[in-house]
Structure 1
Amino acid sequence: MLLPAVPSLPLTVTDQMGRRVAVPFPPRRIVSLVPSQTELLFDLGLGERVIGVTKFCIHPAHARKTATVIGGTKNFHLEKIEELQPDLIIGNKEENYQEGIEQLATKYPVWMSDISTLAESLDMIRRVGLLTGRKEKSDAFVSEIQASMAALPPAVELKTAAYFIWRKPYMVAAAGTFIDDLLVWAGFQNAFSHLSRYPEISAEQLQAAAPQQILLSSEPYPFSEKHIAEFNQLCPAATIRIVDGELFSWYGSRLRHTAAYFQTLK
């Protein structure tokens, strides 16, 4: 059920890109352009207010049934969003494209996250809770995540790891990414920390890096057991495993389960 637009007092907030945004408070018609932030909104009890999501917003499973699918994170359909008449759009600097965000911001309040560390993800959760009228619940999520991550036993020695996000061409998560920060929490040293963001690498570069572990993410490329032999040939001395990409890269309320998963990787 779509909630009708009603007059609201504006709340002026600053997003994680330093932009000042005036949001009707509380917002009643929210479009989320980021899967992990969609899940956060639903977990905050705001499902009835989420009227638009992307085709990649797979959690919760019913999100794409109760809300209008407005396209992907990089190619959302502006006309569909316009039909929804949102009073708040939530996006992310890395996952969405600048031109589309700028167009939306001329008509609607657009709040943007910018996340490359666990600390920044917790800040996002707090701020989203504040601007949607769910401060108490978002603060509780943050406290839960902080406590679970702090309870992780310290690694005696960080194992070097290469974290693959794509195949053909090979691409890894390197420095300046949220995954790179979480690798440390999981007890790993990124074998490609000397590179930036999500570089393409060659088989020769992988062999030269000689990581102790190769982590094949379940997303965005759907690595599976059938790919292990391919990497075994390149790095026979490495331990190769498939890892849950959502628990390494989703920076919303799913982080409540991340520490327990990291314990299984020890």
Structure 2
Amino acid sequence: MASDQSDKSVVQTPLTVTDQLGRRVAVPFPPQRIVSLVPSQTELLFDLGLGPRVVGVTKFCIHPPEARQQATVIGGTKNFDFAKIAACQPDLIIGNKEENYQEGIEQLAAQYPVWLSDVADLPGALRMIKQVGFITGRALVADTMAATVAERFGALSAAAAPESAAYLIWRKPYLAAATGTFIDDLLARAGFTNVFGALGRYPEVTSEQLARAAPQRILLSSEPYPFKEKHVAELQKICPLAHVQLVDGEMFSWYGSRLLHAADYLSQLR
């Protein structure tokens, strides 16, 4: 259970901000008791120096390791424990449109300030980092972080000949990351052309569709489905000419401070 880590000597003033869904949110500034509903944003909060103020996290908030030790675990990203959240007495809850569920967010927003991100590409991620920094009183640190991420991605050299690729996030059935996803944006920046780019955000694809698409690379993500080496052979049988490999899903889908390391990872992968 989280201890009372708020600084009662801090004078808070009302601050009204607009989140990435265009919602107006009134936040006591600077917030002292933050609940994070998204793993990548939890890591961001800690890297902005806000760890002592994070009083609630999800069971999937594995970075940094101390997050789940010092804060209350309030359930998953799509099944909140409202009683545990209430016990945290949050003055700010940070979530995400895609990773959380609307009904739960609406229930929380009726009682607490809830700021939501909506990230589909690198520019959206950079805006999120800066906005989270602003509403938590860490604007300078966040702006510097965002500038560093932008610089590192800007240094990625353009691929001479982009490779066609399929990025799988699930098995039985196979699900791919496609158009409109953050993963798709990073694939393009890494020099890949998404063979399922026209099928929607997370389409289900059959073995036959994979074989017909004939991607040069098949990237098997470590999350949300934990693809392992045994699955490489399974996909190799479907696409014998493809280069099938396991990839770090966090580097493709965590849109917070993990991006400080993503550009180098993508460069090496290419």
Q: TM-score range by the shorter chain?
A: over 0.9
Q: Distance in 2 between matches of 1:37 and 1:194?
A: 29
- How do 1:170-249 residues align onto structure 2 when only pairs under 5 Å count? 170-249=174-253
Matched, 1:90 2:64: no
Indicate yes or no: 2:138 matched with 1:138: no
Conserved? CA contact 1:2–1:49, under 8 Å: no
| Deviation string, structure 1 residues 99-142 (Cα, Å, up to 9, x no partner) | 00000000000000001000000000000000000000001111
Give, in angstroms, the shift of residue 5 of structure 1: 7.2
In structure 1, the partner of 2:157 is 153
Q: Which amino acid aligns with 1:192?
A: F
How many residue pairs match? The answer is: 266
Q: Secondary structure at the match of 1:86?
A: coil
1:259 and 1:31 mapped to 2: Cα distance?
29
Segments of structure 1 that go 5 or more residues without pairing to the other structure are: none
Letter aligned with residue 120 of structure 1: G
* C-alpha contact 2:6 2:53 (8 A) present in aligned 1: no
Once the two structures are TM-superposed, the CA of residue 67 in structure 1 deviates from its matched residue by 0.2
Query: What residue in structure 2 maps to residue 263 of structure 1?
Result: 267
- Determine the C-alpha separation between the residues in 2 that align with 1:84 and 1:132: 17
The one-letter amino acid paired with 2:127 is D
Q: Distance in 1 between matches of 2:242 and 2:211?
A: 10
Contact preservation (8 Å) 2:18, 2:24: yes
Distance in 2 (CA, whole Å) between partners of 1:257 and 1:4 is 31
Q: Which residue of structure 1 aligns with residue 5 of structure 2?
A: 3
Please list every run of at least 4 consecutive aligned residues from structure 1 whose deviation after the TM superposition is greater than 3 angstroms: 4-7
The 3-state SS of whatever aligns with 2:258 is: helix
- Residue 126 of structure 2 corresponds to 122
1:28 aligns to 2:46 (yes or no): no
Q: RMSD of the TM alignment (CA)?
A: 0.9
| Bigger shift: residues 157-166 or 3-12 | 3-12
Counterpart residue identity of residue 133, structure 2: G
Per the TM alignment, residue 225 of structure 1 is displaced from its structure 2 partner at its CA by 1.1
1:77 paired with 2:81, answer yes
Residue number among 105, 110, 117 corresponding to 2:114 in the alignment: 110
**TM-score scaled to structure 2, two decimals?**
0.97
Task: Give the partner amino acid of 2:39.
Answer: P
Q: Secondary structure at the match of 2:204?
A: coil
Give the superposition deviation at 1:92: 0.1
